[in-house]
Structure 1
Amino acid sequence: MTTIITEMYQILKETPDVLAMEEKLQQLMYHWFSDLVGEALTSLDEPVREAKKKEGWDVETRDARTVQFLFGPVAYSRTLMTDREGISHYPLDEHLSIQPNQRYSPLVEVKTAEMTAESTYREVERVLKEWTPVSLSHQTVGAIVKRVGEAQAEADKGLVTELDEAAELPSGREVSHLYAEADGVFVRGTAKKQGIEVSHAITYEGWDTNGKRVALQHPNVLMTTQPTAAFWKEVQAATAHRYSLETTQVVTNSDGGAGYTPEKFQEAFSQSQYPVLNQLDAYHVHQALNRALGAAQSETKTKIREALREHNQDDFRLWLDTYESTLEEDKAIEKVKKLRSYILENWDRIIDWRDHVEDPPEGARSLGAMESNQRHVTFRMKRRGMHWSPRGAEAMVKIKQGLLNRTLREAYLARKKPRSVRQQRRFAQMVRMTDILRDPVRESNGATSGTIALHTAHSTAMGHMVKSFS
C-alpha cells in the first residue's frame, strides 16, 4: 500500500497537466489491480492443487497464463495435472470456468457483444480503447459477437429439442389472452444481390399505459435468419415454456406474406383449445393504399377506408373500380390491380379483433406493434450500406433478442459450463482464506549472544563505547 501511495504522490507532484495526471492515475490503478488479481489467482492454485493430489491426481507442470479482464490483463500461474484416467486438466481454470485458449474474460466478451447491438465493430473498438485497458481489433470484436450470439442461438435450439423430446407440455403461466405478431425484414448479404431475411416475432400479454405512453406488457421477442420452418419451431417452443395456452385466446397479426400466414400462427399456438384469431396488419393495408392511390388524401381513399372499416366489400369494389376507370397509364392500373388482389385475398382478415372475441380485456387496443419493433433490426443492420455474412447476421439478431428478453448473459454463461451449487460448495471447502493468508511458522532458535573484540586500551574512546554496550 505504501508503494502505490508513493507512486501516486510522484504522479501528483510531477504531472503539471490535470488531464494527463488523471490518465496516469487511471493506468496506475488498472496496473496495480491487475497485479493483485493475478497474485490472488496464483494463491488459489495451491489449495486446489493439494485437494486434487489427495484425490489421486498427478502434477505435470506449472505454467503461466494471461487473460484480458475489463480492468486489464491478469497474469497468473496454474498447475497442469493428470487425473486417474490419464486426462490432463488445469483444475484452477476449470473451477474459474475459463476455457482453453480463452484470451478474454466472460465480462469483456459479453460487454463487447452488448455494445455492438447499437454500434459498429469499429466504433466499439474505439470506445473500448478510449475508456478501458481493453484493446481489440474490429475483427476480434466480430469474432466475439459470433461466439456470444451463437450461445443465445444454442439456448433457443435447446428449447426446441426439449419440447420435441418431452412426454408432455411444459407447465407455464396461464393467461386469458395472448397477442402475437410476426414479420420479416431483409438485410444485405455479402454476396452480390443477396438478401438475408430476418424473421421476427413478438408475443405480449397486453398493454400498460402511462398518460399517453403505451408499452407492451411482458413482451418476448424471437429473431432468427434461419428458414421460416425453424423460426416457427422456436416461436412455439419459447411460448410453450412461458405459458400454458390450453384456455388462452391467442390473437395474432401479420401482413399475410409468405411464411407468416394464419396457418403458421395456428400451428405455433396449437396448444390452445380456441381457434387462433388472425388479422391483417393495418399498417400494411395503409401502405398498400398509398402505393396504389398515392400518398395525398382524396375522397376515393377516404371512401375505401370507410368500406374496409365497415367491412363492406361492395363499396370497396365500387370505389376502386371507379378510380381505376380514371387511369390511363398501364403502371398505375397494375398497382390498382395488385391492391384489389391483396385486399380481396385477405378480406376475412381485415377486422378489428376486439369485435370477434367474447368479452375483450379492459383497455384492449388494436394490434400493430411489429413495425415499431422492427426498428431494432433496421436501425442496426440496414444503415450505412452494411453487408452481413449469414453467420454474422444470425449472431447479431440473437444478441438483439437476448438483450430485449434479458436472456443473453444467462445463455452465454450456460455455454461456459459454470459450477453447480455443489461444485461451488466443494470449491469453497477447498480454498480456505485462513490457509492462504496465514504466514508460515518459522522455528525460533532464541536470542543470540556475543561480544565485541577490543584491541586497544579501555580508557580510549572505543573502550568507553564498548563499556556502554555491557
Structure 2
Amino acid sequence: MNSIIAIATELLKSNQSFIQFEAEMIPALAEFVCAAVSKAIEVFDDELCLGKDWTILRKDKRTIQCLFGTLVFSRRLVRDGAGKPRYPLDEALGIPKSRRYSPLLMARVASLSSHAVLRTVSRAVEAFTPGSMSFQTVDKIYQEIGEDLIEVATSKAAAPKQKNEKACTTQLFIEGDAFQVKIKHGLRVMVHRLQVSEGVILNGKRHILKQRYIISGLNRRLVFEQMSEYLDSHYDCKNTQIITGSDNGSGYEPSAFQVFSPTKEQHVHVLDAYHLNRKLKERFSLMPMPLKKRLRQAVFAADKPQVKMILDTAESMQQTEIIATTSQIISNACEIT
C-alpha cells in the first residue's frame, strides 16, 4: 500500500493535469500489480513441485497478457515418473504453453468481436487495458476461442440458483438472429445471438429491457443449448408464456424456438418489427397508399378485425384487377381476329 501511495504522490507532483496523471497511473499500477502476481505464480510453482518425485529439467520464462496487464514469470519444466516432460504450472493454470493471452481476455475479445469490426476491438483493447493487440490477433483469437468462449458463457448460464430462488414471471421475451462478421482475406464468419428479457421498463424517456441476458457464439446449436441451460437455471417456466421473435431466417423459424417453451400452447412467435414492416411493403406494394398506411397501423396496433377488413378489401381489389386485365386481353384478341 505504501508503494502505491508513493507512486501516486510522485505522479501527482510531476503532472500538471489529472488526465496526464491518470494516463501514467494506469500503466504504473499495472506494472506494480503484475510484478506481485508474477511473484505469486512463481511461489505457486514452487509449491506444485515440492515433495514430488519429478526430475527438474530447467526453468523457462513465460509471458501471458491478462486484462490487468502482462505477466512475466519463470516456471519449471519437469520429467514425471512416467518419463514425460511437462510444465505443472501450465497444467494447474489451465493455459496451454503456446498461448500468450489469458482465457478470460480471449473470451472478452471474442465476445466484443461479435458486435464490432476487428480494428475497433483492437483499439478497444489498447484503450481499456494496459496491453495492446493487433486486429490480426483479434481475428485469430475470434476463430480460436471456441472452448474458452463456451466455457465462460456456459459457466454463467449454468450458475445454479436454488430451486426456491428461480424467478417466476408471466412472460419471457426471446429474440434471435444471425449476422456475418468480415475477417481478413474477405472471409466471413456467421455469429449467432440470442437475448432474453422479462419485458420493457421505462426509465425517464428511455426504454430498458428488464433482466436482459445475451448469449452469442459461432455455433447456433451451442448458443441455443446455452440459452436453454440459462432458462432452466434461472426461471420456473411452468406458467410462463414464451414470446419469441426473429426474421424467420434459416435456423430461426418458429419451430426452432419451441425448445424454450414447456408446451406449444405457451409459445407465441412473431416476426420482428423491421422484417414485418418490410414484408408489408413488399407484399402490398400495389395497394393504394392510404390503404397501406391503414394496414400498417392496424398490424402494429394488433387490431385484428381492422386487419381482416383491409386484407379482404385488398383481395377484392386484386380480383377486380385480374378480371379487368383478363377482359382486356380477350377483347384485344377478338379485335385481332
Q: TM-score, normalization: structure 1? A: 0.49
SS in 2 for 1:143: helix
For residue 103 of structure 1, report the CA deviation from its aligned partner: 2.0
Partner of 1:213: 206
| Equivalent residue runs for 1:88-237 within 5 Å | 88-106=85-103, 108-110=105-107, 112-113=109-110, 116=113, 119-126=116-123, 128=125, 134-148=131-145, 150-153=147-150, 173=166, 175-187=168-180, 198-226=191-219, 232-237=224-229
Please say if residues 251 and 278 of structure 1, whose CA atoms lie closer than 8 Å, have aligned partners that are also in contact. Answer: yes
Amino acid at match of 1:203: V
2:314 pairs, out of 313, 320, 326, with 320
1:23-422 aligned at under 5 Å gives the runs 37-50=37-50, 54-69=51-66, 73-106=70-103, 108-110=105-107, 112-113=109-110, 116=113, 119-126=116-123, 128=125, 134-148=131-145, 150-153=147-150, 173=166, 175-187=168-180, 198-226=191-219, 232-256=224-248, 259-266=251-258, 268-272=259-263, 274-293=265-284, 298-305=289-296, 309-311=303-305, 315-321=309-315, 324=318
Offset of residue 157 of structure 1: 7.9
The amino acid of 2:77's aligned partner reads L
Shift of 1:19: 10
Q: Distance in 1 between matches of 2:22 and 2:297?
A: 67
User: What is the identity, as a one-letter code, of the residue corresponding to 2:177?
Assistant: G
Q: After superposition, what is the alpha-carbon deviation per residue over 1:96-143, rounded to whole angstroms, capped at 9, x for unaligned? A: 444322323446545544654555433444555577653433222222
Secondary structure at the aligned position of 1:265 is classed as helix
Check conservation: 2:173, 2:242, Cα contact below 8 A: yes
AA in 2 matched with 1:288: K
Counterpart CA distance in 2 for 1:239 and 1:129 is 35
Secondary structure, in 3 states, of the residue corresponding to 2:61? strand
Q: Summarize the Cα distance change of 1:186–1:195 in structure 2 as closer, same or farther, 3 Å threshold.
A: farther
Alignment partner, residue 414 of structure 1:
none
Letter in 1 for 2:235: Y
Q: Which has the higher strand share?
A: 2
Paired residues of 1:178 and 1:203 also in contact (CA < 8 A) = no
Judge conservation of contact 1:56–1:83 (CA < 8 Å) in 2.
yes
Secondary structure of residue in 1 paired with 2:98? coil
Q: Distance in 2 between matches of 1:263 and 1:246?
A: 19
Say which SS state the counterpart of residue 99 (structure 1) adopts. Answer: coil
When normalised by structure 2's length, the TM-score is 0.64
Cα distance, 1:44 vs. partner?
A: 4.7
Q: Number of paired residues?
A: 314
Q: Which amino acid aligns with 1:206?
A: G
Q: 1:143 to 1:172 in 2, by over 3 A?
A: farther
1-side partners of 2:21 and 2:239: how far apart?
A: 66
Superimposed CA distance per residue, residues 18-50 of structure 1 (whole angstroms, 9 cap, x where no aligned partner): 999998887777666655554554455444433
Kindly provide the amino acid, as one letter, of the partner of residue 281 in structure 2.
N
Q: Which amino acid aligns with 1:99?
A: P
Q: Give the 3-state SS of the residue equivalent to 2:78 in structure 1.
A: strand
Question: Greater shift after overlay, 299-308 or 191-200?
Answer: 191-200
Q: Could you list the per-position Cα deviations for residues 261-320 of structure 1 after superposition, in whole angstroms to 9, with x for gaps in the alignment?
A: 443333x13534844234454554333233355699942124435765233576234431
Amino acid of the structure 2 residue aligned with 1:249: Q
SS at match of 1:311: helix
Percent of aligned positions that are identical:
26
1:255–1:295 distance in 2 versus 1, CA, 3 Å: farther
Q: Which runs of 5+ in 2 are unaligned?
A: 158-162, 323-337
Cα distance in 1 for residues equivalent to 2:284 and 2:167: 45
Asked if structure 1 preserves the Cα contact closer than 8 Å seen for 2:61 and 2:74, the reply is yes
1:311 counterpart letter in structure 2: P
Decide whether aligned partners of structure 1 residues 156 and 135 sit closer, same or farther in structure 2, where only a CA change above 3 A counts.
Answer: closer
Bigger Rg over Cα: 1
Structure 1: 5+ residue runs without aligned partners?
161-169, 329-470
* Structure having greater relative contact order (Cα 8 Å, sep ≥ 6): 1
